Chains A and B, each alone.
Chain A
């Protein structure tokens, strides 16, 4: 199938009609000249008429073909050909999978170095007429000439971001969709089974993957710090391993600068390490494994909030609230006191439920207004709705609720929503619930998430703290409304509350509101990166129809040849030259012989 690099140039084929039009226009009645010796002219033309008619037609043909050849050459036609030494100008997206798994060392060489070498071989075959893009683990296509991309490939390092290969191929396909040149994707990857996903391919795909099997690997898949905050008597760190090794692996965990604790862990089983009490504050927690062939997943970060448990004054008339608080008290997650008042508006931190009696809502709103609350209760809503899933609360049914309305324009302090409307908000040190914590109002009190919700509500939300969030490097993590700054070690970023933050590297990032630390984000590599087992070629072909899988060493040769197309511009230009010469020869012959 003939393709064209610049199909818009084919519009110039209309110019092929010019010689024909000129030929037709030239047939107009010319001016009459009186000439007595017309008989000589008739004699002259009679002898040459047939030859001249043929020459006329040949000239017309040559000129038309000349224009067609030039226009086609300008359109850059290409023809599929196998085994061609060069290739037609192509558009190539080179995807280099420098995700964390590419940091694995195989036979003394980092996998990434193998990928880089293969990428250089691919780029070495590129010509200045090719359009080139490079996609790495950040998923962004970068366009550049060969040298620019070679420099970028040379500067690649192991990224802490996971690369979904199907998504990367989708990005590459979108890039090529806008390109008129024949497109091709070269994917250089360790072909982790956990990274492959389906992709709708419309262009040829060459997958360069290593021949040798990956090393056995064990990484820390999860580091759980348990319910927050920790009390003065310490807490527990739970470490989960992922990977291919079935043997026991020593795990070291520490909290801040405290002495490390060790345990023997196995893949698929969690190791729990008790941590003794530490002073109140925010603590970095980390767990580490002994070094193996993939270092990047051998350490995982966490954040622990250590604070005294909340002293809560709860309303025993609210049956489910009272029951939950008693359980929390029994488990020493709360104590009795007046630090947090649950059920009504009090002088300190208050958690407010709407009253059972609708007539009391006015008095409640007046009390809120007296405390300077920016939110108040509005009209009752009897239509059932679902809470919108979030870090604080999952999806539970809400049967009855009151509208929560901000006193001023805008809405800040929304902690959870139901049916898209605010359902749990904080204003100052007052937390407002849209529904009573009663099964007649919501299913939450009878759901499994009720106790963690109550724990977070009284220990963190009522104190103005937000939940701890986890994310992978590069992921957008939503920020609470009041956060104005994000800090990590000596670095800090000014942020806008309610927006998102993308941690670039693994680590603990603290969320600051004013002078107070109100939460933290822990960024760790995706645990799927620890599973180095590659997908089979059959699996890859099933997911990526038409993909050509080759060893990394052969990726350079395979890349352009899989979509190699003979460039027809050269032959067309030669044809145009020959046609031009033939036209000139014929025209001069005509003038020399008959005229």
Chain B
């Protein structure tokens, strides 16, 4: 848990920390609602899929059809596994990554990843999980405009493409989430999973409107709200002029005097996001960049009590 984060300068996304990757073992992305895919399997589908070629085993999930249970493993290990087939994937996921200037910020660049670097690693890990369970995964990055669109693919080799896109990702200037989120619709013709990774320092109403639109289209939406610890707990010199890197808006204050009020404000903002997302069936997770992303994914991808 307290393992230091690798230096951002030395890290390559395809060389994820083995320690972190090891934590991804057994993780699965399970949607809460109904998603449309070609094959039946992990995700409940309105359609019947059919198997073609055995791919691998996975843990039995409630709702799995008993005919896919591998009775031999049950007999040997007393554990329920179901057989998966190569084209069983029926989930299409799009990860929407905020690459605005505010995402390039780290409260402690010496020891902590910027939010964007953290997001890159988080998305790499998430896409690895999705691709390993044969879910098609795509990527959209944006700053003040949509920068890259990588359509969802289910092949494991697609991960390299994802990593390449993520590695080439550089912070832009402003933040315009709505166009990027709306572009998801073009990539996910059928109901799928949308993961929105952002520091949410954007136009909240527009973003929520776009997220609601996605929900309206039947997609499952997961919002990962990235925050640097320094954005959670205000610190700094005795008095400072705090300047927004995107808007250049500034405010002069003494952090020590305002730390408590700021903490309350952040708590309120997070709570409002949380409420707004829940109201529209959107899963919301606040993530601080000093948290190992294995833990983050475990928490974010865990089935909600309602889904279980």
CA distance A37 to B259 in the complex (A): 13
CA distance A122 to B257 in the complex (A): 59
A38 in contact with B251 (CB, 8 Å): yes
A41 in contact with B257 (CB, 8 Å): no
**A144 contacts B by Cβ under 8 Å:** no
Select which of A32, A33, A591 is within 8 A of B257 by beta carbon.
Answer: A591
**A34 contacts B by Cβ under 8 Å:** yes
Interface 9-mer from A23-31, A74-82, A555-563: A23-31
A595 to chain B, nearest CB (A): 4
B201 in contact with A30 (CB, 8 Å): no
**A40 contacts B by Cβ under 8 Å:** yes
Given contacts A590-B257, A594-B260, A595-B259, contact A42 B249 (CB under 8 A): yes
* Chain B residues whose CB sits within 8 angstroms of the CB of A39 once the complex forms: 201, 244, 249
B241 in contact with A44 (CB, 8 Å): no
CA distance A40 to B258 in the complex (A): 11
Residue of A nearest to B202 (CB): A39
CA distance A39 to B203 in the complex (A): 11
CA distance A206 to B266 in the complex (A): 75
* Chain B residues whose CB sits within 8 angstroms of the CB of A593 once the complex forms: 260-261
Residue of B nearest to A52 (CB): B257
Q: How large is the interface on B (under 10, 10 to 19, 20 to 34, 35 or more residues)?
A: 35 or more
**B15 contacts A by Cβ under 8 Å:** no
A38 in contact with B260 (CB, 8 Å): no
Cβ proximity bits B255-286 to A, threshold 8 Å, 1 near / 0 not: 01111111011100100000000000000000
Cβ proximity bits B230-264 to A, threshold 8 Å, 1 near / 0 not: 11001011011111111101111110111111101
**A148 contacts B by Cβ under 8 Å:** no
| A residues 29-63 touching B (CB-CB < 8 Å) | 29-45, 47-48
Residue of A nearest to B240 (CB): A33
Q: Pick the most buried of B101, B239, B247: most chain A CB atoms within 10 A of its CB.
A: B239
A32 in contact with B253 (CB, 8 Å): no
Q: Pick the most buried of B230, B256, B260, B261: most chain A CB atoms within 10 A of its CB.
A: B261
* Chain A residues whose CB sits within 8 angstroms of the CB of B241 once the complex forms: 29-33
Cβ proximity bits A132-168 to B, threshold 8 Å, 1 near / 0 not: 0000000000000000000000000000000000000
A41 in contact with B262 (CB, 8 Å): yes
* Chain A residues whose CB sits within 8 angstroms of the CB of B254 once the complex forms: 595
B199 in contact with A36 (CB, 8 Å): yes
* Chain A residues whose CB sits within 8 angstroms of the CB of B234 once the complex forms: 41
CA distance A30 to B237 in the complex (A): 9
**A592 contacts B by Cβ under 8 Å:** yes
* Chain A residues whose CB sits within 8 angstroms of the CB of B236 once the complex forms: 33, 35
* Chain B residues whose CB sits within 8 angstroms of the CB of A590 once the complex forms: 257
Cβ proximity bits B203-245 to A, threshold 8 Å, 1 near / 0 not: 0000000000000000000000001101100101101111111
CA distance A591 to B261 in the complex (A): 9
Residue of B nearest to A27 (CB): B252
Cβ proximity bits A569-595 to B, threshold 8 Å, 1 near / 0 not: 000000000000000000000111111
A237 to chain B, nearest CB (A): 99
**B90 contacts A by Cβ under 8 Å:** no
B231 in contact with A42 (CB, 8 Å): no
* Chain B residues whose CB sits within 8 angstroms of the CB of A31 once the complex forms: 237, 240-241
Residue of B nearest to A41 (CB): B251
B261 in contact with A32 (CB, 8 Å): no
Q: What is the interface of chain B, defined by CB distance below 8 A to chain A? A: 101-102, 105, 199, 201, 227-228, 230-231, 234, 236-237, 239-247, 249-254, 256-262, 264-266, 269
- A/B interface sample: 20 pairs, CB < 8 A: A26-B239, A29-B241, A30-B241, A31-B237, A32-B240, A33-B240, A33-B242, A34-B105, A35-B243, A36-B201, A36-B244, A36-B246, A38-B251, A39-B244, A41-B251, A41-B265, A42-B249, A47-B261, A595-B254, A595-B259
Q: What is the interface of chain A, defined by CB distance below 8 A to chain B? A: 26, 29-45, 47-48, 590-595
The 8 closest A-B pairs by CB, nearest first: A36-B102, A595-B257, A38-B244, A35-B242, A44-B265, A30-B239, A33-B240, A594-B261
